[in-house]
Amino acid sequence: METVIELENADIARAAIASPVAVVKDVQWSVRPGEFWIVGGLPGGGKTDLLCTAAGLQRPMKGRQLLFGKDTESMSEEETVSARLRIAMVFASGRLFNGLTVAQNIALPLFYHHDFTTEKIAERVSQALELTGLTEWGNKRPTSITRNLHQRIGLARGLALEPEILLIDNPLTGIDPRQARWWLDFLCQAIKTKTIVIATDDFRAWLEVGRQFAVLRERQFEVIGGREEVRKSSDALVRELKRPVFEDG
């Protein structure tokens, strides 16, 4: 089966800094259609930078990066944009424009990347709002909405482009159990039609839904295996990622 994302001997740079340094080195990773990856690691370990590279938002400092079987080094600008539009990167903060309404935030990339009619864009936005349970907030600005929903708005913005792959950075961090259940239920449905990669500081909620697991440790990317391998692992970092925040005794 052809890979949709592949990194070969790739060094991953810290995103958005003037003098890049490798935060993860020599990554060997293949993501195939329909897979559900959970990538765990301690905060600051490079998970977001790995996702940004996997999404094609930045190239590795060294090594090869392939998107849908094509080396990004040999892609034309048009091919690169086309590949990126098949992948939605959903940042933890949502990365919203506070001067726009929720609906306008979702519509913005549609105006930018597609020659759609206003009616078609409105239809896509309405569908994305409904899919993410955000219809009632469509005409509000992000500043008037709890920050716990900002990442879900970012998800809606990505879904409006109808991507094949969802890369989502720490979606369960800082939210209440009801909203966490929404994310888990949504992703269990989404995996029927999409490839999903989640970055997380905590494996516990993902042990029933994730299919492939990996960790970042000491600038290295390591594949752990499936759910049973994670459950049975005695590795110190894996155990840390499975441990409750507060333990008795």
Residues 6 or more apart whose CB falls under 8 angstroms from that of 59 comprise: 53, 65, 72, 73
Query: Residue 16: what pLDDT?
Result: 65
pTM of the model: 0.94
Q: What is the pLDDT of residue 246?
A: 41
The two tokens of residue 207 are 């042990």
Model pLDDT, residue 37:
98
Distance CA 42, CA 29 (A): 19
CB 40 within 8 A of CB 241: yes
Task: Tell me the domains of the chain and their CATH numbers.
Answer: 1-86+165-175+195-244 (3.40.50.300), 94-162 (no CATH)
What is the reported pLDDT for 1? 67
Residue 19: predicted pLDDT: 63
b/e code 198-230 from CB counts within 10 Å (16+ = b): bbbbbbebbeebbebbbbbbeeebbebeebeeb
Residue matched to tokens 């008037």: 144
Q: Which residues pair with 89 in a beta bridge?
A: 167
Task: State CA 240 to chain mean position distance.
Answer: 22
Output the CA–CA distances (angstroms, integers) from residue 181 to 184, 206, 211, 214, in the order listed.
5, 11, 18, 23
Element (H, E) at 215: strand 212-217
Q: Which two tokens stand for residue 173?
A: 């961090």
Beta bridge partners, 62, equal 11
**Within the chain, where are the H helices?**
47-54, 77-84, 102-113, 118-131, 150-159, 177-190, 227-232, 236-242
Q: How far is CA 30 from CA 20, 33, 195, 221, 242, in A?
A: 24, 10, 12, 12, 24
Cα separation of 27 and 92, whole Å?
23
Q: pLDDT tens, position by position, for the chain (249 residues)?
A: 689 999 999 999 987 666 678 999 999 999 999 999 999 999 999 999 999 999 999 999 999 999 999 999 999 999 999 999 999 999 999 999 999 999 999 999 999 999 899 999 999 999 999 999 999 999 999 999 999 999 999 999 999 999 999 999 999 998 999 999 999 999 999 999 999 999 999 999 999 999 999 999 999 999 999 999 999 999 999 999 998 654 443
3-state secondary structure of 200: strand
d(Cα 138, Cα 130) in Å, to the nearest integer? 10
Which residue's structure tokens are 């892609």? 75
Smallest CA-to-CA distance from 224 within 205, 243, 209, 237 is with: 237
Q: How far apart are CA 134 and CA 102, in angstroms?
A: 9
Tell me, rounded to whole angstroms, the distance of Cα 211 from its chain centroid. 15
